[in-house]
Amino acid sequence: MVKLLDQDILTREVLDWKGVHLLHFAGSSCSQKARVFLNLKQIEWESHPIDLGTNENYNPWYLGINPRGLVPTLVIDGEVHIESNDILTALEHRFPTPELIPANLASEVAFLLKHEDDLHLDLRTLTFRFMRPYLGPFRSTEALNSFRDGGSGTVEGQVDANKKREIDFWETNNAGISDEAVRKSAAAFRTAFDELEAKLAKSPYFLGNEISVLDIAWYIYAVRLSTVGYPLQKLHPRVHGWFEGLNARDEFAKEVARPVGHADAIARFQEELSREGKALTDIAML
């Protein structure tokens, strides 16, 4: 679990925060995952929005809490946890009911969540190619310099390689995301969702008859993929049915709802891409 050590944390005031605090962004998939989890557990928490649109995640104050410059971050009674899946695991330990990470399957769940996390940059690739009107500009040189210079640069006391990975992602893709990158990311999701389709042939949720953290995690990915034009219903009909079921639940739906106007802008952009033969389905031949 990624719980920061004292030396990793430069923004010292959070060490005095009591209770559950989530630093997050409304439209961030990992933040949405954490908020759905908090809803299902009915945990009271304090919200600290961090605006990714203005690169607030790269300002020194936030980097002093999250050296990776990513949302979400959990502060719980002065402990600082980063990495959404580790945040959920920490919350599960503190608030065990309802059980969303079955204790007898903890290591299997950790393995499956790692698989989900490994796809995060693929999700970002598709997002930044197919949701442009909603996202604004890519990360500027100035923002990336602020990121480079800020924070301790360490996680669990070690120099953190993930920071370089983040900077590399933006520097590689700032000029635009290539068709090849789109195809690679779409193929990774197709394989992952084929596996999920097979699981749903056996049970209504990924770990059996009850909702677990895996359903939350993949729900959030399914939302984003549907938004960028991935043909979920056509390619994975069981996953689509499961997705619709979760969409009907307020604890899920309210966390992924888009502000008025955004959904329309994205839909118009998708239509435009389809007319030009540049939609995700065209490029990835799905």
Ligand X SMILES: N[C@@H](CCC(=O)N[C@@H](CS)C(=O)NCC(=O)O)C(=O)O
Q: Please state the closest distance from residue 162 (CB atom) to ligand X, in A.
A: 8
Reading phi first (left if > 0) and then psi (alpha if -120 to 50, else beta), residue 28 is in: beta
**Among 21, 28, 134, 150, contact with ligand X (rule: CB under 6 A):** 28
Q: Please state the closest distance from residue 117 (CB atom) to ligand X, in A.
A: 5
Interaction between residue 84 and ligand X (CB under 6 A): yes
C-alpha 57/C-alpha 69 separation (Å) is 5
Interaction between residue 116 and ligand X (CB under 6 A): no
The dihedral sign for the CA sequence 272, 278, 280, 286:
positive
Closer CB to ligand X, 71 or 75, in the complex = 71
**Among 30, 76, 192, 256, contact with ligand X (rule: CB under 6 A):** 30
The backbone torsions φ and ψ at residue 233, rounded to the nearest 5 degrees and listed phi first, read -65, -40
**Among 63, 71, 155, 181, contact with ligand X (rule: CB under 6 A):** 71
For the residues of 204-257, what is the DSSP string, one character each? Answer: SBTTBSS--HHHHHHHHHHHHHHHTT--HHHH-HHHHHHHHHHHTSHHHHHHHP
Interaction between residue 117 and ligand X (CB under 6 A): yes
Stretch near ligand X under the rule CB under 6 A, chosen from 24-32, 152-160, 234-242, 256-264? 24-32
Interaction between residue 278 and ligand X (CB under 6 A): no
Closer CB to ligand X, 38 or 52, in the complex = 52
Q: Please state the closest distance from residue 60 (CB atom) to ligand X, in A.
A: 15
Pairing of strands 79-82, 20-24: unpaired
Site for ligand X in 166-225 (CB under 6 A): none
User: Which two tokens mark 217?
Assistant: 């995690």
**Among 3, 48, 94, 120, contact with ligand X (rule: CB under 6 A):** 120
Q: Please state the closest distance from residue 57 (CB atom) to ligand X, in A.
A: 5
The C-alpha R_g of the chain, in whole angstroms, comes to 19
The backbone torsions φ and ψ at residue 58, rounded to the nearest 5 degrees and listed phi first, read -105, 5
Q: Please state the closest distance from residue 29 (CB atom) to ligand X, in A.
A: 5
C-alpha 22/C-alpha 264 separation (Å) is 29
Q: Are 71 and 57 in contact (CB under 8 A)?
A: yes
Interaction between residue 52 and ligand X (CB under 6 A): yes
**Among 8, 83, 92, 215, contact with ligand X (rule: CB under 6 A):** 83
Closer CB to ligand X, 84 or 152, in the complex = 84
User: C-alpha angle 18/24/27, rounded to 5°?
Assistant: 155
Binding region for ligand X (CB under 6 A)? 28-30, 52, 57, 70-71, 83-85, 117, 120
